[in-house]
Amino acid sequence: MKKLDIFWVAAFFLGISVSCSAHSNPKDKQSFNQQTENLVSVDHSTYNQLLKSYVSDKGMVNYAAFIKSKSKLEAYLTSLTKVNTAKLTKNEQLAFWINAYNALTIDQILRNYPVKSILHIAGGKVWDQPLPYSFNGKTLTLNEMEKKVLLGGDLFDARIHFAVNCAAISCPRLSNTAFTAENVQSMLTKNTKAALANEAQNKISTNHASISMLFNWYKRDFEKAEGTVLNFINKYSDTKINSHTKIDYLEYNWNLNGK
């Protein structure tokens, strides 16, 4: 074969290669862009529907019925693992992590149901065991999610203590509405006020206050938020207390918040 012929044959195959490459790149880019888009898309509607179906207005969970929709809860949690939380707004992140924490707590109960208390799971160390889901490529525990992600950085807000739920009677009630970027601020305030007004969890009067152990366990968070625990309570409670008010803590009821 002449050199000229070899040149045109090579050029022909090179042209095919270039042509194929040119046609494949847009698809690759499109696929990549779609994946990236999915990473920042958060849909809490499935979780909201589950809460409406199995959680009462008083925060009691029908776990026996909920277990029938376990696969839907798992699908929702799986969808959260695909979200790039760094690209979310602050309110979107707050809603994301609060929902994730509560959904994962429910997931732990369903995985071990029937169980009378969350303390009966993992030898009472359910909050320290690695979760079966990864977020932002990292495996977390419930404690890390609450104390490092929600309360340990830019998302800090002491009201979060009344939004995350530990599946126990003495925990602030589990809301039967999912948090969203649009409602997270109002729900944080609503839940905090509701917890302080709930006499099963906080009995507050001018002369005496028997308050939740949460105020003892997380004293530093409430001090960080409002200077003192007293200031925090007075900001969200209809009944005000003063520095002379006698304060003690109610015993925590770890029985399951189930029907």
Per-residue pLDDT of the chain in tens (259 residues, 90 and over written 9)? 444 344 333 443 334 333 333 333 444 334 333 444 445 679 999 999 999 999 999 999 999 999 999 999 999 999 999 999 999 999 999 999 999 999 999 999 999 999 999 999 999 999 999 999 999 999 999 999 999 999 999 999 999 999 999 999 999 999 999 999 999 999 999 999 999 999 999 999 988 999 999 999 999 999 999 999 999 999 999 999 998 899 999 999 999 999 7
Give the count of domains, the chain: 1
Instruction: Give the residue numbers spanning the domain of 130.
Output: 41-200
Q: Does 1 map to a domain?
A: no
pLDDT on residue 55: 98
Q: Does 5 map to a domain?
A: no
Q: Does 22 map to a domain?
A: no
Q: Does 215 map to a domain?
A: no
**What does the block give as tokens for 96?**
């994301």
Q: Does 230 map to a domain?
A: no
Q: Does 86 map to a domain?
A: yes
Q: Does 214 map to a domain?
A: no
Q: Does 227 map to a domain?
A: no
Determine if the peptide bond prior to 114 is cis (ω within 30°): yes
